[in-house]
């Protein structure tokens, strides 16, 4: 029996995935659980292991193809039956498994109202996925009109990287109509306007994507955006549209932390953990968040959502983009626990082994441009959080130290910490008090190792 | 120059083609001395004689059968049905013989079967049919349905010159209501080509025959609300101008298919399916069909009016689409 390889469901709300790379080709032998392909979804990139041992007889989704969850992407024939399976005329790549449950319209059922009652997840999780109103259980016709709009609008949205759920529709049930999305695309956007001085009014009917237009043959190389790149672009712009970004920068003396780190480095290494500055910063952030919980919060139009858990997102730069795995309940870990978890998340991010759960539920984020030599950055908030800490490079600098015996110049390990906060919810005074507490904690260097 | 009525355009087309090509002749009930039940062939007997304008007994199968046989012998017959409702009596010879002949025996059967169709004239269930759907699924037969005097003449000439059997559907409501200035020269309207009757950008109405004028009225009304309606006059049902349909849908993204025959299994179903298959990504709203109710056309004038599509129904559908 040939075994079907299907696009796995990488998270509840995920309906499709993109084949980013095939690690085997037709005719290759493959062991059970041996990596077979790499996929990319709205949430994570992952390596998919082969469900069976045998020979790859068919590959039904090309690299770059986006297919629904459960669609068959390849077939594996067991030893000895490869020849029998091969002549089968290439079947249409239609999913042979039932599509994800397609509920019948049930206009009488107020689905939207039932959700809160059924929602028993902690607020943190509920707030963590605001970009996904189209959960799998959506059933009402109204809801589907809002989220699916029409084939034409979906096509225009895809071509222009627009999330239609973020637009206000004027059609039936609040549906985004062709006119709505074209008007949205016509609105000048600062970045697009600068990049496209030649942008001119278009005939709406042609529904061309706006922005700079390049044709093959010009002195450019054109490649399609990866799923990850599209999501990053979307999230960054959404965040800029959502929050009132303000950045405050503190200079922090890391000398004591540096001493501590050097003292324990080898000991940690023996336990298989690489000790960096990051665990100390995470713990200092936790101290600060305990005192100023408004920085560990989210907000909507009418309320502030204080998160009980302190789940710290750690931005990890990848060769092919950026991902922010989340260190869950970081407040319950000591330096060793944090260091181990941070190592693990970083390793798995680079190996594309993160699970959807690993990238959800963050309540505060730390990003570390310093490792590339940056003095400090002004990071963009990771929605729906309200603050993000950017860590500059730790560098020895001459510093004036004031003591009872008088002032003198010393060589100290210094670092700029930049906090971007959402001024809608967090006032400057609170943000700076938080940063002062952070600075004090780091400079004191009283960490339990 | 006097305007030509839709019915005179048909008479002119037959007369000119009979004069141009001696193989062309007319056969049907009362087409000779009486000049046709609607006077479509008035004067042709005098002009061309009884050998080329042939009266028959009341037998549609005999008319179509004789025409088909003559066509195989090299003639170009025009077979008239007094009402297209009765074409069902000749259905077998038309679809099983004339339409298939070139596929089965390699020899085309160039007949034109024509006659009056359509309602709105209080003709009741036996004199109001719009028969296109029951021929749509029978390969080998072309179907045209002109809605203007210009097309009535040009399409009939094209049908007579075509090497395939052609069903030519005349709308009797238009016979004497439509008048146009026609060109003096010999022209044809190619079969399979639609006419963009009115250009617009917000909404497309695909229609043909007498429904053109219902679409016109609705479009005029919509224009008062600044809605610009595109009207595609299909003219040919088989083969139909798929490109024209798809181009228009790609432009307006909203489409109404309007026809006078009943809804279920009507030709509109085929066009809707084609649009869904080939222009799915261009639809910003569901495809709407407006057609007659699924009933035989009633005798009673108020009931007939209620059964057939009208401006009110088109406007309602248009407004629903525009608000979608």
Query: Do A151 and B285 lie within an 8 Å CB cutoff?
Result: no
The pLDDT assigned to A103 comes to 41
Measured CA to CA in angstroms, residue A401 lies from A374, A410, A412 at distances of 25, 6, 9
How far off is chain A from B287, nearest CA to CA, in Å? 12
A418 φ/ψ angles, rounded to the nearest 5 degrees: -115, 125
Least confident of A179-183, B24-28, B115-119, B238-242: A179-183
- Please report where in the chains the tokens 């009208």 appear, as a residue: B310
The pLDDT assigned to A222 comes to 79
Looking at the predicted structure, is the pLDDT value of residue B231 above 50?
A: yes
pLDDT tens-place string over residues B197-227: 999 999 999 999 999 999 999 999 999 999 9
How far off is chain B from A375, nearest CA to CA, in Å? 49
B5 φ/ψ angles, rounded to the nearest 5 degrees: -80, 165
Q: Is the pTM of this model over 0.80?
A: no
How far off is chain B from A324, nearest CA to CA, in Å? 35
Looking at the predicted structure, is the pLDDT value of residue A241 above 70?
A: yes
pLDDT class of A300 with cuts at 50, 70, 90: confident
Looking at the predicted structure, is the pLDDT value of residue B243 above 80?
A: yes
How far off is chain A from B254, nearest CA to CA, in Å? 10
pLDDT tens-place string over residues A421-436: 999 999 999 999 999 9
Give the Cα-Cα-Cα angle B15, B17, B18 (nearest 5 degrees). 65
List CB contacts (< 8 A) between A177 and chain B: 284, 324
Query: Do B283 and A152 lie within an 8 Å CB cutoff?
Result: yes
Please tell me if residue B323 touches chain A, with a CB cutoff of 8 Å: yes
How far off is chain B from A201, nearest CA to CA, in Å? 17
Higher-confidence position of B130 and B108: B130
Of A151, A154, A172, which has the smallest distance from its Cβ to B324's Cβ? Answer: A172
**Residues A222-229: contacts with CB under 8 Å, at least 24 apart:** A224/A64, A225/A161, A226/A18, A226/A20, A226/A40, A226/A320, A226/A321, A227/A18, A227/A20, A227/A40, A227/A41, A227/A42, A227/A66, A228/A40, A228/A45, A228/A320, A228/A321, A228/A322, A228/A323, A229/A321
Across the range A177-199, mean pLDDT stands at 65
Helices and strands counted in chain B (H then E): 12, 14
Least confident of A29-43, A114-128, A273-287: A114-128
Most B-contacting residue of A105, A148, A151 (CB-CB within 10 A), to test interface: A151
pLDDT tens-place string over residues A322-346: 899 999 999 999 999 999 999 999 9
Across the range A244-266, mean pLDDT stands at 94
How far off is chain B from A175, nearest CA to CA, in Å? 8
Least confident of A83-87, A168-172, B138-142: A83-87
The pLDDT assigned to A63 comes to 86
In the structure encoding, which two tokens stand for residue A127, read together? 């707030």
Q: Which of A33, A300, A347, A427 is catalytic?
A: A427
pLDDT class of A192 with cuts at 50, 70, 90: very low
pLDDT class of A137 with cuts at 50, 70, 90: low
Higher-confidence position of A66 and A254: A254
Residue ranges per structural domain of chain B? 4-180, 195-322
List CB contacts (< 8 A) between A205 and chain B: 201, 251-252
Please tell me if residue B252 touches chain A, with a CB cutoff of 8 Å: yes
Report the residue of chain B nearest A155, measured CA to CA: B281
Across all residues in chain A, what is the average pLDDT? 80
How far off is chain A from B221, nearest CA to CA, in Å? 22
Burial of A401 (0-12, 13-18, 19+ CB in 10 A): middle
List CB contacts (< 8 A) between B253 and chain A: 150, 152, 178
Q: Residues of B167-206 as b/e, b for ≥16 C-beta within 10 angstroms? A: bbbbbbbbbeebeeebeeeeebbebbbbbebbebbbbbbb
Query: Do B282 and A151 lie within an 8 Å CB cutoff?
Result: yes
Report the residue of chain A nearest B201, measured CA to CA: A205
Across the range B94-122, mean pLDDT stands at 95
List CB contacts (< 8 A) between A152 and chain B: 253, 281-284
pLDDT class of A139 with cuts at 50, 70, 90: low
The pLDDT assigned to A11 comes to 66
pLDDT tens-place string over residues B264-320: 999 999 999 999 999 999 999 999 999 999 999 999 999 999 999 999 999 999 999
**Inter-chain contacts counted by CB atoms under 8 A, chains A and B:** 31
- Cβ atoms of A36 and A26 closer than 8 Å: no
Q: Which of B122, B127, B171, B259 is catalytic?
A: B127
Across the range B134-159, mean pLDDT stands at 97
Looking at the predicted structure, is the pLDDT value of residue A113 above 60?
A: no
- Please report where in the chains the tokens 């003198």 appear, as a residue: A408
Report the residue of chain B nearest A175, measured CA to CA: B324
Of A154, A175, A178, which has the smallest distance from its Cβ to B253's Cβ? Answer: A178
Give the whole-number percent of chain A exceeding pLDDT 70: 78
Query: Do A152 and B323 lie within an 8 Å CB cutoff?
Result: no
The pLDDT assigned to B305 comes to 96
Q: Residues of B135-151 as b/e, b for ≥16 C-beta within 10 angstroms? A: bbebebbbbbbbbbbbb
Please tell me if residue B107 touches chain A, with a CB cutoff of 8 Å: no
User: Class for domain B195-322, per CATH?
Assistant: alpha beta
Report the residue of chain A nearest B287, measured CA to CA: A150
pLDDT class of A210 with cuts at 50, 70, 90: low
Give the containing element (helix H, strand E) for A76.
Answer: strand A72-77
Looking at the predicted structure, is the pLDDT value of residue A198 above 50?
A: no
The pLDDT assigned to B155 comes to 98
Higher-confidence position of A38 and B73: B73
Nearest to B315 by CA among B232, B199, B218, B200: B218
List CB contacts (< 8 A) between B201 and chain A: 205
Please tell me if residue B313 touches chain A, with a CB cutoff of 8 Å: no
Across the range A175-179, mean pLDDT stands at 89
Q: Is B127 annotated as catalytic?
A: yes
Most B-contacting residue of A175, A177, A183, A202 (CB-CB within 10 A), to test interface: A177
- Cβ atoms of A304 and A294 closer than 8 Å: yes
List CB contacts (< 8 A) between A175 and chain B: 324
Query: Do B283 and A175 lie within an 8 Å CB cutoff?
Result: no
Query: Do B253 and A172 lie within an 8 Å CB cutoff?
Result: no
Looking at the predicted structure, is the pLDDT value of residue A85 above 70?
A: no
The pLDDT assigned to A18 comes to 87
Higher-confidence position of B210 and A134: B210
Least confident of A279-293, A319-333, B4-18: A319-333
The pLDDT assigned to A203 comes to 39
Report the residue of chain B nearest A207, measured CA to CA: B251
Looking at the predicted structure, is the pLDDT value of residue A106 above 90?
A: no
Cite the DSSP H helix spans in A303-422.
Answer: 335-350
Report the residue of chain A nearest B278, measured CA to CA: A151
Please tell me if residue B251 touches chain A, with a CB cutoff of 8 Å: yes
Q: Do domains B4-180 and B195-322 have the same CATH topology?
A: yes
Across all residues in chain B, what is the average pLDDT? 96
The pLDDT assigned to B269 comes to 98
For residue B156, the SS3 value is helix
pLDDT class of A217 with cuts at 50, 70, 90: low
Most A-contacting residue of B230, B282, B284 (CB-CB within 10 A), to test interface: B284
Higher-confidence position of A122 and A307: A307
Higher-confidence position of A382 and A116: A382
How far off is chain B from A145, nearest CA to CA, in Å? 10
B295: number of Cβ within 10 Å: 11
CATH code at B4-180 = 3.40.50.970
Query: Do A150 and B283 lie within an 8 Å CB cutoff?
Result: yes
The pLDDT assigned to B1 comes to 63
Considering only CB atoms, which residues of chain A are within 8 Å of chain B? 150-155, 171-172, 175, 177-178, 205
Looking at the predicted structure, is the pLDDT value of residue A117 above 50?
A: no
Query: Do B253 and A152 lie within an 8 Å CB cutoff?
Result: yes
The pLDDT assigned to A215 comes to 66
Q: Residues of A318-351 as b/e, b for ≥16 C-beta within 10 angstroms? A: eeeebbbbbbbebbebebbbbbbbbbebbebbee
Please tell me if residue B324 touches chain A, with a CB cutoff of 8 Å: yes
Please tell me if residue B229 touches chain A, with a CB cutoff of 8 Å: no
Query: Do A155 and B281 lie within an 8 Å CB cutoff?
Result: yes
């Amino acid at each position: 029996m040939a075994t079907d390889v299907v696009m796995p469901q990488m998270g509840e709300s995920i309906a499709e995935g993109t084949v980013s790379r095939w690690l085997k080709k037709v005719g290759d032998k493959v062991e059970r659980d041996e990596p077979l392909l790499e996929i990319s979804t709205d949430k994570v990139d992952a390596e998919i292991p082969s469900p069976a041992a045998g020979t790859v007889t068919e590959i039904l989704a090309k690299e770059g193809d986006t297919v629904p969850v459960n669609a068959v992407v390849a077939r594996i024939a067991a030893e000895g039956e490869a020849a029998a399976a091969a002549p089968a005329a290439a079947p249409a790549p239609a999913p042979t498994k039932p599509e994800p449950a397609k509920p019948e319209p049930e206009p009488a059922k107020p689905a939207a109202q039932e959700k809160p009652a059924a929602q028993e997840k902690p607020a943190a999780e509920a707030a963590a996925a605001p970009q996904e109103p189209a959960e799998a259980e959506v059933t009402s016709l109204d809801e589907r009109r809002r989220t699916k709009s029409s084939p034409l609008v979906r096509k225009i949205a895809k071509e222009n990287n627009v999330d239609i759920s973020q637009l206000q529709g004027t059609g039936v049930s609040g549906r985004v109509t062709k006119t709505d999305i074209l008007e949205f695309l016509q609105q000048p956007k600062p970045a697009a306007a600068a990049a496209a001085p030649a942008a001119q009014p278009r005939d709406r009917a042609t529904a061309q994507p706006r922005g700079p237009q390049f044709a093959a043959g010009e002195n450019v190389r054109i490649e399609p955006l990866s799923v990850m790149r599209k999501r990053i672009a979307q999230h960054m712009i959404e965040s800029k549209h959502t929050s009132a970004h303000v950045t405050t920068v503190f200079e922090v003396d890391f000398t004591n932390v540096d001493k501590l780190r050097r003292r324990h480095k080898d000991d940690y290494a023996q336990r298989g953990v690489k000790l960096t500055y990051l665990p100390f910063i995470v713990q200092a952030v936790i101290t600060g968040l305990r005192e100023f919980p408004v920085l560990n919060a989210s907000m909507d139009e009418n309320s502030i959502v204080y998160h009980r858990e302190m789940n710290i997102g750690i931005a990890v730069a990848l060769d092919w983009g950026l991902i922010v795995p989340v260190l869950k309940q970081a407040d319950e870990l000591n330096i060793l626990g944090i260091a181990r978890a941070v190592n693990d998340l970083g390793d798995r991010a680079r190996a594309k082994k993160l699970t959807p759960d690993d990238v959800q539920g963050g309540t505060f984020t730390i990003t570390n441009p310093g490792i590339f030599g940056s003095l400090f950055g002004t990071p963009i908030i990771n929605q729906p959080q309200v603050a993000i800490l950017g860590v500059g490079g730790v560098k020895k600098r001459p510093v004036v130290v004031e003591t009872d015996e008088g002032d003198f110049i010393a060589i100290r390990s210094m670092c700029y910490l930049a906090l971007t906060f959402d001024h809608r919810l967090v006032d400057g005074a609170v943000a700076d008090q938080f940063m002062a507490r952070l600075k004090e904690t780091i400079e004191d260097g009283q960490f339990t190792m | 120059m006097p305007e030509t009525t839709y019915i005179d355009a048909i008479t002119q087309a037959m007369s000119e083609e009979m004069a141009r090509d001696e193989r062309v002749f007319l056969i049907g009930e009362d087409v000779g001395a009486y000049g046709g039940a609607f006077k479509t062939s008035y004067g042709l007997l005098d002009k061309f004689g009884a050998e080329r304008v042939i009266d028959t007994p009341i037998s549609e199968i005999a008319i179509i059968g004789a025409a088909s046989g003559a066509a195989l012998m090299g003639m170009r017959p025009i077979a008239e049905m007094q009402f297209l409702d009765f074409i069902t009596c000749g259905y077998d010879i038309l679809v099983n013989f004339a339409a298939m002949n070139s596929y089965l025996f390699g020899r085309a059967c160039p007949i034109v079967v024509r006659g009056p169709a359509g309602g709105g004239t209080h003709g009741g269930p036996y004199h109001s049919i719009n028969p296109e759907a029951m021929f749509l699924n029978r390969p080998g037969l072309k179907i045209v349905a002109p809605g203007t005097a210009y097309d009535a003449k040009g399409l009939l000439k094209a049908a007579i010159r075509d090497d395939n059997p052609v069903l030519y559907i005349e709308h009797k409501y238009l016979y004497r209501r439509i008048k146009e200035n026609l060109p003096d020269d010999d022209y044809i309207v190619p079969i399979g080509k639609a006419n963009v009757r009115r250009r617009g950008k917000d909404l497309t109405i695909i229609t043909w025959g007498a429904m053109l004028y219902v679409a016109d009225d609705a479009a005029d009304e919509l224009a008062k609300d600044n809605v610009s309606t595109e009207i595609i006059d299909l003219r040919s049902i088989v083969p139909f101008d798929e490109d024209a349909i798809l181009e228009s849908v790609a432009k307006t993204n909203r489409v109404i298919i309007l026809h006078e025959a009943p809804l279920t299994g009507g030709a509109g179903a085929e066009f809707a399916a084609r649009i869904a298959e080939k222009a799915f990504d261009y639809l910003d709203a569901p495809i709407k069909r407006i057609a007659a109710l699924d009933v035989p056309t009633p005798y009673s004038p108020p009931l007939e009016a209620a059964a057939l599509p009208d401006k009110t129904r088109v406007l309602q559908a248009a407004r629903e689409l525009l608000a979608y």
